[in-house]
């Protein structure tokens, strides 16, 4: 199968490229720089020089499937950055895919598309998208998902699916775990509400497994939570990840209300005085670390045939082995 992937130089896209190449697929990947060219080539993919603003049907020539994993996921930035990449970029990818005669469009979404700051308890895919979320990442991912699902057109030979992982972790993570370890080693790590919030998680290998299943399975126009088995507290999960790297996290904790206040105040200072770099804490980061998020994955099992191949315990062992290399 000839497949086009966005975000192939990142965590999810890179792991997906490696897996699909190993499975015998011809993988072409969006690349914006010589550095990305090298990363994609090392994974066995074929770099295609374009970006989310310029991608056109010619870049996808002959591809049967698009896997759209690229997104602006930063906790801080101009609102236009989220809008341009997550909404505008997704719409442009959909347009290019349809014009190129692509048959299936798999969008890597997120449970964050449902969030406007509330806890999520045993939520399934019927829960409404948060178009009015005060967090730009959440609201733009909600609108991106809506665009993908509305573009579904089986009668016209174009089907779309959305996969929603939660708390992606595992070997190859260059964002979440490195930040945690950096904060811990500098003495700046602190839990929020003692890390009590329960969460669902998604091991990277399990997400890639679901993407591979979605090449041919799943109901067009639907969204699917892709999850590990069970749920854990944020403290249990993050502590185990840090332990896999040989780091013990301390017990320091601040109340959730104080974290929210610090995040809002920090953002106000940074925007009001045009300060450089990122605030020490953002509203979004404070919210993520104190809210519960437990999800139901039965729909993916029924429609995709998805059952996580890697347990959390196995994933932690693999993470530790990868960090030791």
Q: Which two tokens stand for residue 139?
A: 């609201």
Residue 261: count other Cβ atoms within 10 Å of its Cβ.
15
Hey, is 57 helix, strand or coil? helix
Catalytic annotation present for 28: no
Between CA 119 and CA 295 the distance in angstroms is 11
Active-site pick, 135, 137, 203, 306 = 137
**Dist. CA 323–CA 310, nearest whole Å:** 18
Catalytic residues: 137
């Amino acid at each position: 199968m000839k497949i086009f992937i966005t975000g192939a130089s990142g965590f999810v896209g890179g792991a997906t490229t490696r897996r699909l190449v190993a499975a015998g697929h011809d993988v072409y990947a969006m690349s914006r720089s010589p550095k990305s060219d090298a990363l994609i080539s090392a994974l066995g993919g074929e770099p295609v020089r374009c970006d989310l603003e310029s991608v056109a049907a010619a870049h996808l020539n002959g591809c049967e499937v698009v896997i759209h994993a690229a997104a602006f996921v930063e906790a801080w930035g101009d609102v236009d950055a989220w809008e341009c990449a997550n909404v505008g970029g997704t719409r442009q990818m959909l347009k290019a895919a349809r014009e190129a005669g692509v048959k299936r469009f798999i969008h890597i979404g997120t449970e964050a598309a449902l969030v406007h700051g509330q806890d999520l308890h045993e939520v399934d895919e019927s829960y409404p998208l948060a178009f009015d979320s005060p967090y730009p990442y959440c609201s733009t991912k909600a609108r991106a998902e809506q665009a993908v699902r509305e573009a579904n057109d089986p009668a016209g030979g174009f089907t779309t699916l959305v996969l929603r992982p939660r708390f992606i972790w595992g070997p190859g993570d260059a964002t979440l775990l490195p930040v945690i370890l950096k904060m811990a080693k500098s003495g700046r790590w602190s839990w929020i509400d003692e890390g009590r919030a329960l969460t669902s998680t998604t091991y990277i290998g399990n997400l890639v497994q679901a993407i591979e299943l979605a090449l041919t399975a799943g109901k067009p126009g639907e969204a699917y939570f892709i999850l590990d088995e069970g749920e854990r507290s944020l403290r249990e999960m993050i502590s185990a990840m840090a332990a896999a790297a040989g780091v013990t996290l301390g017990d320091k904790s601040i109340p959730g209300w104080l974290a929210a206040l610090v995040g809002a105040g920090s953002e106000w200072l940074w925007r009001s005085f045009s300060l450089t770099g990122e605030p020490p804490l953002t509203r979004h980061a404070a919210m993520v670390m104190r809210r519960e998020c437990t999800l139901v994955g039965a729909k993916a099992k029924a429609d995709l045939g998805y059952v996580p191949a890697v347990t959390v315990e196995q994933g932690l062992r693999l993470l530790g082995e990868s960090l030791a290399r």
